[in-house]
Structure 1
Amino acid sequence: MKEKFMRSASTFSKAIIQPVMFMAVTGIILSVCAILKLDMMPTVSKEIGNFVFNIMSNGMIGQLSAIFCVGIAAALAKPKYKTDAAILGTITYLVFLYANNAWLTVTDRLAVAGEQGLYGTGQGTVFGIQVTDMGVFLGILLGVFVGVMVNKFGEIKLHKYLSPYSGTKSAYILIVFATILFAIGITYFWPAVNSVVETVVKATTTAGSVGFFFYGFLNRLLLPLGLHHFLWMPIFYTPLGGTAEIAGQVYNGAFNIWLAELGNAGSITTMHPSIGYLANFGSISLPIGIAFALWKTARPENRKKVAAILIPTVTTAFLAGVTEPLEFLFLFLSPILWLAHAIVYGVSMLITNLVGINIQFDTGINMIINSFAFPARLGHQYLIPIVFILTAVMEYLVFKLLIVKLDIPTLGREKKESSIDNLVIDETMDADDSIDNDSEFEPQIKNIVAGLGGAENIDNIINCYTRLRIDVKDTSKVNMKILKEKVQASGIVDKGKHIQIIIGVGVEEEREKVEAYMAHEKSLKA
């Protein structure tokens, strides 16, 4: 039961991350547009910034629910069904909207817009259709539903005369009628759910700065399980992260509120408190503190090699916001260090909130860009250097103290240097672990496939920001010795039939190479 739950959670996590990965890019584009729109900028600059901002805001942020629906449906579907799942995701979303609106009309329950529009009525307008306001939850629920249905009923076989309606076409028939019933039922059910969400939001917002500590603490604590997406995603994109009315429109979720404030920077007088969730030194100053502590506590003769490993990981964290390559250097080695890191992470968010830093940043790049998007009296950007140094020093002191006092064998502290050398792929194989010498593919790629039990044993492979997430058919065929000793990775997470390989930046290219090699192997056998 536990394994089934963990696999389902991991599957959902890797599906939800696919559409979210594009949000970071959208945020950078909108931040640049916000700078172009500042009062001090020339008229031409303002017009260009406003033009692009409105397009991206309405086209991406305003339709986030539909994007989640299609993205999750395609991500959850088996490789051979992905195109059909994307099409069915679009159809299902539209069917829901029209069915929901039709039932509200038939039962005479369409809300009447007031001075603030439909705000507060529990209904909203999507694609010009007035429906029960579920926000991004609608896209998530429908996307999961479509993905599951396509995988479950995509193999349906019918009589040869009915063969055009078999497979995913049969799944489509089931999906349509189930969606109509769901759209009707949600008009009665969702108001109660909405009340619960509002209660949770109220409890969270009244917790003050303590709530930001627990958010940061749990964010890191859940990382090894790959379940941290369940925490930050609702806060970023749903009412759980707050609700704000900006320029006559209502926005749900901390990230959506931030982007709306970016677009109206000239008229904003106070920053919404939810922005505190987005001001994150976790990938900026904390990695510097960790890396310096690991380097300082390493044996003098090993420090040069340790630095060669740490510098790229810190650079990756600062520029791309990807911290796993650094964190997985000590995550499995010492749970105590990981717990301490989670606490410091939470404390850093607590401090950031207490001093009132209210601009979005999780990488050095958008920290620099966004610092110019708002007046310092609103975002308190001038405090960033102070908190930067404070949090880096705090992380350094905590790590150094624990490593020395508990004699934790972190990178470079062993008498033998083999631990460092093992971080670089060993391209020589034992006789019993040998793989073919096809020079077309890199040893790294062949080692990954061999370690997972061969191409035929890989049921599904996908990537998130930093990890390859693989479902295998038979766990007995998985060779952890190859994965841990022959694959160049920051860490391996073994969850039975679900294996995660932490690659870092470039993971998408790695996945494509693995898929190409799998296809090559299968074609040879065929």
Structure 2
Amino acid sequence: MKKFASSVHAFGKALMMPISVIAAAGIFLGVAAAMQNPAITGEAFAAMQVPQLIIGFIRKVAGALFANLPLLFAVASAIGLAKAEKPTAAFAATIGFITMHVGVSATLAAKGLTAATTTAQALQAQGMDQTQAMMTAAEYIQMLGIFTYNMSVLGGVIAGLLTAVIHNRCYTVQLPTAISFFGGRRFVPIVTVLVLPLVGVLLAAIWPTIGLGIAWVGELIGKSGQYGAFLYGTSERLLIPTGLHHILNETVRFTPIGGIATVDGQTLVGALNIFNASLTHPGSVPDETVREATRFLAQGKIPVMMFGLPAAALAIYHAARPEHKQRVKALMLAAALTSFTTGITEPLEFCFIFVSPVLYILHALLSGLSFMLMSLFHLMIGNVQGGAIDLVVFGILGGEKTAWWWSIALGLIYVPVYYYSFRFIIQRMRVETPGRETEEEDATPQVEAAERIKVIISGLGGAENIEDVDCCFTRLRVRVKTMKEVVDATLMSTGANGVNRVSDTDVQVIYGPQVEKIAGEVKSALGIA
């Protein structure tokens, strides 16, 4: 069970690699879509050939990333779960993804199902009505030139996870001397080529049932309307301390649970896929379909991340003891600006979610309410972060149809709601937010920047206690040999916003956006490549 928990958190971390890429690509797409909209830039600019060619090129590059997301997730999943020799795992995952879909394709061909026999026209010729024919045709796709089931990102994750299992078992295998060349890390892709096509054959047999199950869950959430958005928004915040919110997010963004749409006879599954298709193929997706998808995306986060949490930061500052206000001011200002601009909230959330369950639950419920109200007001703002960048690029530059002003209106309401509720609870329940800690905790000095990396390593139990170091957007993720050697107070003295022990061997130290630099310096000090 402990190993399983560790693997789940490693998987959640791995998902951040492709997400960080497509989040940036999504912003490029949003800006490009706005610049090609005559209502925003004017007819004269829209008629300029060279600028429009450049913008079109940018859209094609970003569109290619979204079209191949399943492969990106396969590679990321394998890298995240590989114990060592991660480049080999990535290489094997690419092979595994391709050969798995070859197995699916071969099974479909044996059933008489090909790209030619599953077009809407061919199915109608067999007696299907138009709607049923289009829905059936949408179940299949050409992936890297291979005719296969439309498994979207889930297919990539399956290939990546299975490749990681093979890799971890086989990368140290030694073969007899005569064939020793094929042992070790070279053995991994060989086994992958043998196993993954068979997995594809099995998937081809069971995928229709899996697809029906996912579609049923998606239909259930879809029928729940705004309440589905409320449940999603609340659950996503409640899962923040565990790191499992990444998995919930990807499920909604890339599976039928987040919505289904048909574009040019091809089915798009998942809220983010639908939204990005509306950017890469303007006019191809009805606005109502896009709105159904964006109820799970950035629009529900904007009132909370741009307005609510900065107001909570102000409340924490005002509730701090006078002698600590200067220190707390610097901390809260940095965290509030990060939340407002980029939508990265962990540096601020970890200041209160572990010290006050009441504030934690209140914040989660207000987040869910925001998702529900933005859906109720028919907003159409996509992408994944929810900060000012998303509001400007995908809301304001998207024009009136995005109804972006409602997010600001709710945000202005959330400012006093967050500020007064947080300040009241902190003072009434004597919550030990920054600047209100006990005297023993207050006495913990902050180390100098030059000594920080040494102290971080010391706080993790020393170099001999550290097995692996990595990071996501805001957290230093470390696998240690013995958890009792980890000292929270020492780590907090290095400027951390919180320490989260997610299993008996996995600990996360929350530093905020600067964590990438910290992780690199820790690895360098440990001699980790």
Question: Is 187-196 or 511-520 further displaced after alignment?
Answer: 511-520
Question: Is 37-46 or 278-287 further displaced after alignment?
Answer: 37-46
Deviation by residue 1:301-352 (Cα, 9 ceiling, x = unmatched)? 5433322221111111122221111111112111221111111111122222
Give the equivalent residue in structure 2 for 1:101: 105
CA contact (8 A) 2:310 2:337 kept: no
Rounded to whole Å, the distance in 1 between the matches of 2:192 and 2:280 is 38
Instruction: Name the amino acid aligned to 1:120.
Output: T
Give the equivalent residue in structure 2 for 1:388: 411
Give the equivalent residue in structure 2 for 1:67: 72
Give how far 1:269 is off: 4.5
Deviation by residue 1:457-509 (Cα, 9 ceiling, x = unmatched)? 2222211111111111233443444334x332111112320011111112112
Give the equivalent residue in structure 2 for 1:425: 446
Q: Residues 75 and 108 (structure 1 numbering): CA distance in 2 closer, same or farther, change over 3 Å?
A: same
Residue 372 of structure 2 is aligned to residue 355 of structure 1? no
Give the equivalent residue in structure 2 for 1:431: none
Residue 475 of structure 2 is aligned to residue 475 of structure 1? no
CA contact (8 A) 1:265 1:374 kept: no
Instruction: Name the amino acid aligned to 1:371.
Output: G
Give how far 1:228 is off: 0.7
Rounded to whole Å, the distance in 1 between the matches of 2:327 and 2:490 is 23
Give the equivalent residue in structure 1 for 2:86: 82
Give the equivalent residue in structure 1 for 2:295: 276
Give the equivalent residue in structure 2 for 1:432: none
Rounded to whole Å, the distance in 1 between the matches of 2:36 and 2:52 is 4
Give the equivalent residue in structure 1 for 2:468: 460
Give the equivalent residue in structure 2 for 1:489: 496
Instruction: Name the amino acid aligned to 1:142.
Output: A
Rounded to whole Å, the distance in 1 between the matches of 2:135 and 2:66 is 18
For 1:346, which of 346, 361, 368 is the aligned residue? 368
Give how far 1:291 is off: 0.9
3-state SS, counterpart of residue 157 of structure 1: coil
For 1:288, which of 310, 316, 321 is the aligned residue? 310
Rounded to whole Å, the distance in 2 between the matches of 1:178 and 1:82 is 19
Rounded to whole Å, the distance in 1 between the matches of 2:87 and 2:52 is 40
Q: Residues 420 and 349 (structure 1 numbering): CA distance in 2 closer, same or farther, change over 3 Å?
A: farther
3-state SS, counterpart of residue 406 of structure 2: helix
CA contact (8 A) 2:391 2:404 kept: no
Question: Is 4-13 or 294-303 further displaced after alignment?
Answer: 294-303
Instruction: Name the amino acid aligned to 2:500.
Output: V
Question: Is 323-332 or 406-415 further displaced after alignment?
Answer: 406-415
Instruction: Name the amino acid aligned to 2:513.
Output: V
Residue 309 of structure 2 is aligned to residue 303 of structure 1? no
Alignment of 1:33-48 (within 5 A): 33-40=32-39, 41=41, 42=45, 43-44=47-48, 45-48=51-54
Give the equivalent residue in structure 2 for 1:375: 399
3-state SS, counterpart of residue 471 of structure 1: strand
3-state SS, counterpart of residue 136 of structure 2: coil
CA contact (8 A) 2:101 2:197 kept: no
3-state SS, counterpart of residue 120 of structure 2: coil
CA contact (8 A) 1:262 1:373 kept: no
3-state SS, counterpart of residue 470 of structure 1: strand
Deviation by residue 1:121-154 (Cα, 9 ceiling, x = unmatched)? 4221111221122111111111111122212221
RMSD between aligned alpha carbons?
2.3
- Matched length: 501
Rounded to whole Å, the distance in 2 between the matches of 1:86 and 1:274 is 31
Alignment of 1:15-26 (within 5 A): 15-26=14-25
Give the equivalent residue in structure 2 for 1:54: 60
Give the equivalent residue in structure 1 for 2:125: none
For 2:157, which of 140, 149, 152 is the aligned residue? 140
Give the equivalent residue in structure 2 for 1:120: 136
Q: Residues 258 and 69 (structure 1 numbering): CA distance in 2 closer, same or farther, change over 3 Å?
A: same
Q: Give the percent of matched residue pairs that are identical in Structure 1 and Structure 2.
A: 29
Rounded to whole Å, the distance in 1 between the matches of 2:438 and 2:201 is 68
Residue 205 of structure 2 is aligned to residue 197 of structure 1? no
Alignment of 1:175-194 (within 5 A): 175-194=192-211
Question: Is 191-200 or 85-94 further displaced after alignment?
Answer: 85-94
Rounded to whole Å, the distance in 1 between the matches of 2:13 and 2:438 is 39
Give the equivalent residue in structure 2 for 1:433: none
Give the equivalent residue in structure 1 for 2:126: none
Rounded to whole Å, the distance in 1 between the matches of 2:437 and 2:455 is 27
Instruction: Name the amino acid aligned to 1:76.
Output: L
Instruction: Name the amino acid aligned to 1:472.
Output: V
CA contact (8 A) 1:118 1:124 kept: no
Give the TM-score taking structure 1 as reference length. 0.89
Q: Residues 458 and 411 (structure 1 numbering): CA distance in 2 closer, same or farther, change over 3 Å?
A: closer
Instruction: Name the amino acid aligned to 1:328.
Output: F
Question: Is 82-91 or 164-173 further displaced after alignment?
Answer: 164-173
Residue 4 of structure 2 is aligned to residue 5 of structure 1? yes
Instruction: Name the amino acid aligned to 2:292.
Output: P
Give how far 1:415 is off: 8.0
Residue 394 of structure 2 is aligned to residue 366 of structure 1? no
Q: Residues 303 and 482 (structure 1 numbering): CA distance in 2 closer, same or farther, change over 3 Å?
A: closer
Give how far 1:180 is off: 1.5
Instruction: Name the amino acid aligned to 2:104.
Output: N
Rounded to whole Å, the distance in 2 between the matches of 1:126 and 1:316 is 38
Rounded to whole Å, the distance in 2 between the matches of 1:69 and 1:513 is 28
Rounded to whole Å, the distance in 1 between the matches of 2:506 and 2:435 is 31
CA contact (8 A) 1:284 1:363 kept: yes
Question: Is 327-336 or 26-35 further displaced after alignment?
Answer: 327-336
3-state SS, counterpart of residue 426 of structure 1: coil
Rounded to whole Å, the distance in 2 between the matches of 1:318 and 1:207 is 30
Rounded to whole Å, the distance in 1 between the matches of 2:194 and 2:310 is 54
Question: Is 5-14 or 194-203 further displaced after alignment?
Answer: 5-14
Which consecutive residues of structure 1, in runs of 5 or more, have no partner in the other structure? 428-440
Rounded to whole Å, the distance in 2 between the matches of 1:393 and 1:189 is 52
For 2:435, which of 405, 412, 436 is the aligned residue? 412
Rounded to whole Å, the distance in 1 between the matches of 2:467 and 2:247 is 24
